[in-house]
Amino acid sequence: MSNIVKINKKIENFIKIIEVPGDKSLSIRWVLFSSLASGTSTARNLLMSEDVLAAIKAVKKLGIKVIINKNECKIFGKGIDGYKYKKNLKINAQNSGTFGRLILGLLVNSPEVIHLIGDKSLSQRDFRRVSEPLSKFGAKFKLKNNNFLPLKILGTSNLKPIKYIESRGSAQCKSSIIFASMRTEGTTTIKAKKSRNHTELLCKYLKLPIHVKNYKNFDEIKIKKVKKINTLNYNIPSDISSSAFFIVLTALSEKSELIIKNVNINPSRIGIITILKKMGVKITFKNKKTYKGERKADIKVISAKNIKAINCPPKLNSGAIDEFLVIFLVAAKAKGVSYFRNLGELNQKESPRLKWAETILRNLGVRTITTSDSIKIFGNPNLNLDFDKKIIIKNFLKDHRVFMTSLIAALSFGGKWVIHDKESINTSFPNFLKIIENLKKWQKEKIY
Ligand code: S3P
């Protein structure tokens, strides 16, 4: 089957209700917490994508039984010390920075050397950001060029609690340290720049010994050694990062309306909503509910008439970190110049995303000024490509979000697009193209 998608036509207007798959951050965390629980945990709507399957394969290698049956996954935890550490164990995190970094926190007491490898993209990403704090607990690391995968970790039974300042706003680093603290006698204190807080919320829901104090710009987290984790039955809400592509597609289409059901709207994840609302897009939450410490709702969005440029406040960055590529498409159609700054972390993702933003926007004929951590986008409210304007997007390290953003750009602005590496969607959103197809076969549904 071809791994290339060709788009030659803008999408027509649609009025639809859709569902996107389970949240990736929550799915990976559910796998890890359940693998340490005392007993059997069940998840429904677990994201069945390559990143989550990499986590499942790894806990199986660590001796934990997992059964997947249609939309249900069962993990048979053997307690907090239930992992089996075989000699020369190799764990493959594939494309997943989240899984690769989080699992290291749980391996800090491994009596055997464990090898962590990843795919080409993950092997170019920084792992010192976790090996450095985890070394302070007493674990030993050997990384390629002191920074990269493949790496080796050797744990210790003599872990020491640490005090750590996490200054990047990385939930992956914060969570990795929280996991290591769960294995460590004494109290670990983390002063963490704001970032998504799913790990803390799950710890609280599971009644683990965690204390979080929220300050304006950072959180102070104190966590003690965990003796037992109860089983965790979880119905995973849908992923706002996957919803983002459809929110933007609707905002940029004419006379369209979309409802996305049952999405996780944790306040630390809804940066895209705040940013797009400031730009004049009409988005509302319906059926708001609290679920196991998380918030969820249906998201309603309608086509935007007049999009305003934004000078994006950096305090919104961490809550929208995975959504910026697609947010930039909205800025491309805004009246005026939008400015996004302090975004160096975007170049630390599955591909250097600021560079890819520039490539996609320039292909659209939109002027940009990009530095190593910022982008200015000179919007054009009449942006519309000639039907025979050819654009080829390839060699983007199979970054799923570059693929999906390019496809949304093609459907929103026209032109003749050839987008490579379709299989990249399997990382986070395997049925992305199916939902697009369904929207194309639009039919009017009564909503609300
Ligand atoms: C994630 C944290 C973010 C995000 C990633 C998922 C998580 O990364 O980009 O897709 O689940 O903790 P950083 O923590 O490195 O910013």
Residues 298, 447: contact at Cβ < 8 Å? no
DSSP string, 46-59: ---SHHHHHHHHHH
Q: How many CB atoms lie within 10 A of CB 382?
A: 6
Tell me the CA–centroid distance for residue 24 and ligand 1, in Å.
Answer: 10
Map tokens 């990384």 to a residue: 143
Ligand 1 neighbourhood includes 196 CB (under 6 angstroms): yes
Map tokens 């459809």 to a residue: 246
Q: What is the mean pLDDT of residues 205-218?
A: 97
Is the pLDDT reported for residue 446 higher than 50? no
Which pLDDT score, from 0 to 100, does residue 70 have? 86
Regarding beta strands 65-69 and 416-419, do their DSSP bridges make them parallel or antiparallel, or are they unpaired? unpaired
Tokens representing 354? 């600021």
**DSSP classification of residue 9:** S
CA dist 431 → 49, 178, 269, 406, 428 (Å): 10, 32, 22, 16, 9
pLDDT tier, 149 (very low <50, low <70, confident <90, very high otherwise): very high
Which pLDDT score, from 0 to 100, does residue 248 have? 98
Average pLDDT, the chain: 96
Question: Which residues, other chains included, contact 1 with Cβ-Cβ below 8 Å and sequence gap of 6+?
Answer: none
- Is the model more confident about 439 or about 246? 246
Q: Report H helices in 38-170.
A: 50-61, 97-106, 128-137
Nearest CA to ligand 1 atom 9: 322
Q: Which helix (H) or strand (E) holds 289?
A: strand 283-291
Nearest CA to ligand 1 atom 10: 322
CA gap 425, 434 in Å, rounded: 11
Q: Strand, coil or helix: what is 347?
A: helix
The half-sphere exposure of 268 on its side-chain side, counting CA atoms within 13 A, is 20
Mutation probe of ligand 1 site: the residue of 25, 99, 200 with most atoms within 8 A of C-beta: 25
Residues 211, 236: contact at Cβ < 8 Å? no
Ligand 1 neighbourhood includes 325 CB (under 6 angstroms): no
The yes-or-no answer on residue 51 being catalytic is: no
Q: Could you read off the pLDDT of 338-353 as tens digits, one per residue?
A: 999 999 999 999 999 9
For residue 102, the ligand 1 atom closest to its alpha carbon is 12
Regarding beta strands 218-224 and 187-193, do their DSSP bridges make them parallel or antiparallel, or are they unpaired? antiparallel
For residue 241, the ligand 1 atom closest to its alpha carbon is 10
Tell me the CA–centroid distance for residue 221 and ligand 1, in Å.
Answer: 18
Which pLDDT score, from 0 to 100, does residue 296 have? 98
Q: pLDDT > 90: what percent of the chain?
A: 97
pLDDT tier, 68 (very low <50, low <70, confident <90, very high otherwise): very high
Q: What is the mean pLDDT of residues 41-61?
A: 98
Q: pLDDT > 70: what percent of the chain?
A: 98
Q: What is the mean pLDDT of residues 375-387?
A: 97
Tell me the CA–centroid distance for residue 8 and ligand 1, in Å.
Answer: 33
Ligand 1 neighbourhood includes 323 CB (under 6 angstroms): no
Which pLDDT score, from 0 to 100, does residue 448 have? 37
Nearest CA to ligand 1 atom 15: 170
Is the pLDDT reported for residue 71 higher than 90? no
Structural domains for the chain: 5-22+239-440 (3.65.10.10), 24-224 (3.65.10.10)
Ligand 1 neighbourhood includes 303 CB (under 6 angstroms): no
For residue 199, the ligand 1 atom closest to its alpha carbon is 12
If we measure between CA atoms, which residue out of 400, 392, 409 comes closest to residue 428?
400
Tell me the CA–centroid distance for residue 18 and ligand 1, in Å.
Answer: 25
Is the pLDDT reported for residue 111 higher than 90? yes
By residue count, the chain amounts to 448
Residues 245, 404: contact at Cβ < 8 Å? yes
Q: Report H helices in 107-217.
A: 128-137, 171-182, 198-205
Q: Which helix (H) or strand (E) holds 332?
A: helix 324-332
If we measure between CA atoms, which residue out of 403, 440, 437 comes closest to residue 3?
403
pLDDT tier, 1 (very low <50, low <70, confident <90, very high otherwise): low
Ligand 1 neighbourhood includes 170 CB (under 6 angstroms): yes
Ligand 1 neighbourhood includes 175 CB (under 6 angstroms): yes
Tell me the CA–centroid distance for residue 11 and ligand 1, in Å.
Answer: 31
Which pLDDT score, from 0 to 100, does residue 443 have? 43
Residues 149, 100: contact at Cβ < 8 Å? yes
Is the pLDDT reported for residue 186 higher than 60? yes
Per annotation, catalytic residue among 51, 322, 399, 421: 322
Which pLDDT score, from 0 to 100, does residue 447 have? 40
Which pLDDT score, from 0 to 100, does residue 369 have? 98
If we measure between CA atoms, which residue out of 361, 401, 14, 37 comes closest to residue 239?
401
Tell me the CA–centroid distance for residue 250 and ligand 1, in Å.
Answer: 25
For residue 322, the ligand 1 atom closest to its alpha carbon is 9
Nearest CA to ligand 1 atom 4: 322
Q: Which helix (H) or strand (E) holds 389?
A: none
Q: What is the mean pLDDT of residues 14-33?
A: 97
Which pLDDT score, from 0 to 100, does residue 271 have? 98
Q: Could you read off the pLDDT of 300-332 as tens digits, one per residue?
A: 999 999 999 999 999 999 999 999 999 999 999
For residue 349, the ligand 1 atom closest to its alpha carbon is 9
CA gap 331, 315 in Å, rounded: 18
Tell me the CA–centroid distance for residue 173 and ligand 1, in Å.
Answer: 9
pLDDT tier, 442 (very low <50, low <70, confident <90, very high otherwise): low
